Structure 1
Amino acid sequence: MKGQEWYQESDVAEEYDEKRFSRGGRLIDRREKEAVLDAVGPVDDKRVLEIACGTGRFTVMLAERGADVVGLDISGPMLQQGREKARSAGVDDTLEFMRGDAARLPFPDDHFDTVFAMRFFHLADTPAAFLSEMRRVSKDQVFFDTFNRFSTRSIYNWLLPMGSRLYSRSEVESLLAKADLRLVGDEHDFVLPYGFYRKIPNSLASTVRGIDTGIGRSPVGDSLASVSYWNASVE
């Protein structure tokens, strides 16, 4: 996976949330959490696995809502940030953070109701293998996001330190079919890429976001979107 060493640096983990979800990045955080909650639905007593949980933004959120949730990540420093976040939220005794490799998940088949991954597939060197593992340990639902090939993301992707793997719809549909997953819902958002929002103040970002959302709701919105959320069920 791209960036393994970078994500395991302590200073990167400590600054991760602040750099990505302050300023205009706050609305990205809200939208991503909304996407996860909409997809997962009621979580009381639902067994959930988050792949590449990072600093635990979603893991802690779901634990607060009653999910039986495990967050798995390859980075020890990222997991430490997640544990601190869980303690601050008072849910550290109701979830589990585990260090592990998404290519070899340490769980039996059909162990979770839902398995999801956010901000993960753009770094995946073997997406088919990762998706197959997610499907193996889920008995019901797999949810993930991708950055889109034919979007504004592609304009500056080569400038990013690690780049991003960009996907077309046909590529995602092919990956789902190979993993024996059935697409049951998809959403497409952010005509302007994430990097733009992180560079501007939150107050200005809200105004720009309104324009972005308006374009996104137009007939051409889905084709211009830089981010897609894919909700699939186990066949």
Structure 2
Amino acid sequence: MKGKEWYQSDDVAEEYDAKRFSRGGRLIDRREKQAVLDALAPVDGKDVLEIACGTGRFTAMLAERGADIVGLDISSEMMEQGREKARRAGVADHIEFMRGDAARLPFPDDHFDSVFAMRFFHLADTPAKFLAEMARVSKEQVFFDTFNGRSLRVLYNWLLPMGSHLYASDEVERLLADAGLRLANAEHDFLLPYGFYRKIPNGVAGEFRGLDTAIRDTPVGDELASVSYWNARVK
């Protein structure tokens, strides 16, 4: 099962958070949330669009900090998990969940202050079209992550049931330029791929993360990182 079919399965939605963000996956969750907060801050009073909002990990977090946010996804089952998160956090009135296609966003030009997508571009079949649409509806900022081709992720990528597109830095830079975006900054992280961390206990994961971070901070760290966070501005 590939791409959209895998993602929209009922059992995937029900187990998504538990499989990815328990055990050593907890530190991945913390790092991703910090990356989003660092990029979008300050979020209080901002109008934000999240593409592929999934189970609402980031949607509820940003609403708690004062953002008015639209979460768009192709999976109704995923968004139901997000609605439950929003209700528990008491921020449902600051979030609108919409089922839609990221290649044809149902919003006018320059509608949002910031548009972002996490865990999306590795499944994107037409990344140029998606990025162009994100840029079109944003007044200021587009933020997203990619998985990288020069990394250990290559070793297990072919095992993934949904497939995964791996990017080179120059490919992302071309996509940004073609979408009319200017790269403000980029961060590269996780020499050890996500799948490794998810398989080990949280306490042990912290020790590996320390080693991972130490190597990342060397001259070869950016080249070997499995994940990149791209923070761009609308020209």
TM-score in same-fold range (> 0.5)? yes
Structure 1 residue 232 and structure 2 residue 229: aligned?
no
Tell me the residue number matched to 1:83.
Answer: 83
Tell me the residue number matched to 1:94.
Answer: 94
- C-alpha displacement at 1:122, in angstroms? 0.3
Q: Aligned partner of 2:6: which letter?
A: W
Q: Any residues of structure 2 matched to 1:4-43 within 5 Å, and which?
A: 4-43=4-43
Tell me the residue number matched to 2:52.
Answer: 52
Deviations 1:1-40 (A, max 9, x none): x521222222211110000000000000000000000000
Distance (whole Å) between structure 1 residues aligned to residue 151 and residue 208 of structure 2: 17
Structure 1 moving runs of 4+ over 3 Å: none
Structure 1 counterpart SS, 2:93: coil
Q: Is the 8 A contact 2:60 2:91 kept in 1?
A: yes
Q: Which moved more, 1:217-226 or 1:155-164?
A: 155-164
Q: Aligned partner of 2:179: which letter?
A: A
Distance (whole Å) between structure 1 residues aligned to residue 32 and residue 179 of structure 2: 24
Deviations 1:112-133 (A, max 9, x none): 0000000000001110000000
Q: Aligned partner of 1:120: which letter?
A: F
Q: Is the 8 A contact 2:6 2:161 kept in 1?
A: no
Distance (whole Å) between structure 2 residues aligned to residue 208 and residue 103 of structure 1: 38
Q: Aligned partner of 1:66: which letter?
A: G
Tell me the residue number matched to 2:129.
Answer: 129
Structure 1 residue 187 and structure 2 residue 187: aligned?
yes
Structure 2 counterpart SS, 1:159: coil
Tell me the residue number matched to 2:222.
Answer: 222
Distance (whole Å) between structure 2 residues aligned to residue 89 and residue 123 of structure 1: 29
Query: Which segments of 5 or more consecutive residues in structure 2 lack a partner in the other structure?
Result: none
Distance (whole Å) between structure 2 residues aligned to residue 9 and residue 153 of structure 1: 24
Q: Aligned partner of 1:57: which letter?
A: R
- C-alpha displacement at 1:162, in angstroms? 2.0
Structure 1 residue 107 and structure 2 residue 107: aligned?
yes
Q: Aligned partner of 2:207: which letter?
A: T
Q: Is the 8 A contact 2:6 2:162 kept in 1?
A: no
Deviations 1:151-198 (A, max 9, x none): 101111111112210000100000000001000000000000000000
Q: How many residues align?
A: 234
Distance (whole Å) between structure 2 residues aligned to residue 24 and residue 44 of structure 1: 31
Structure 1 counterpart SS, 2:35: helix
Structure 2 counterpart SS, 1:45: coil
Structure 2 counterpart SS, 1:161: coil
Structure 1 counterpart SS, 2:151: coil
